[in-house]
Chains A and B, each alone.
Chain A
Amino acid sequence: GENVEQHPSTLSVQEGDSAVIKCTYSDSASNYFPWYKQELGKRPQLIIDIRSNVGEKKDQRIAVTLNKTAKHFSLHITETQPEDSAVYFCAASETSYDKVIFGPGTSLSVIP
């Protein structure tokens, strides 16, 4: 089955700096890669996703890149703000609605 790894497990950045979180997956059949943000005590919520026919996707300060050959994908947050502090999960799925397997999460702290 699919296995998703994520690094780093914790990340601290100064406000205004960029943050990068990297993930790898094992199943070459996976073709849908969402990212979820979970604030303390809250539910995970989708922030961006990418499909295997796209190499990069941007949404304001957030961007995701995908390298299918290497089976890895990354989340980039620019101009970080304190409200970006949360746990970020990458995930992989064979289809858009098949089982979604999550990475272990990255705890991001943005220091004002």
Chain B
Amino acid sequence: DAGVIQSPRHEVTEMGQEVTLRCKPISGHNSLFWYRQTMMRGLELLIYFNNNVPIDDSGMPEDRFSAKMPNASFSTLKIQPSEPRDSAVYFCASSPGTSGEGELFFGEGSRLTVL
């Protein structure tokens, strides 16, 4: 398996633009997580899905952020409109989601810079 695949790897955009980050989890994994990493705040959980259903989105900073998982092999994280404070590395991770198999498999991340 190729692992968790994220795109784009790097994105530079201007304030006010819409940003869409994409994630393909490992086939067969039942849970998908979106994390944001910054120096100041570390790894913050934004939202996670079990079997394509959003379970907890309490970490989503505000209404400008939205996430979807239309099927088991694809998820998006959208920021609209983007702001400079959204600049961070966004990681997607998937997990088998069964008892005793709790490892998170991270993608390589999407580095977002909002000017």
Contacts and interface: CB of A to CB of B under 8 A. Distances in A.
Interface of A: 1, 32, 34, 36, 42-46, 49, 89, 93, 95-97, 99-105
Interface stretch (B14-22, B76-84, B98-106): B98-106
Contacts, number: 59
A34 B102 contact: yes
Contacts of B70: none
- Which secondary structure dominates chain A's binding surface? loop
10 contacts: A34-B103, A36-B104, A43-B108, A44-B104, A46-B103, A49-B103, A96-B102, A97-B99, A99-B55, A102-B35
- Which secondary structure dominates chain B's binding surface? strand
B98 A97 contact: yes
Contacts of B103: 34, 46, 49
Given A1-B58, A44-B43, A89-B43, A99 B48 contact: yes
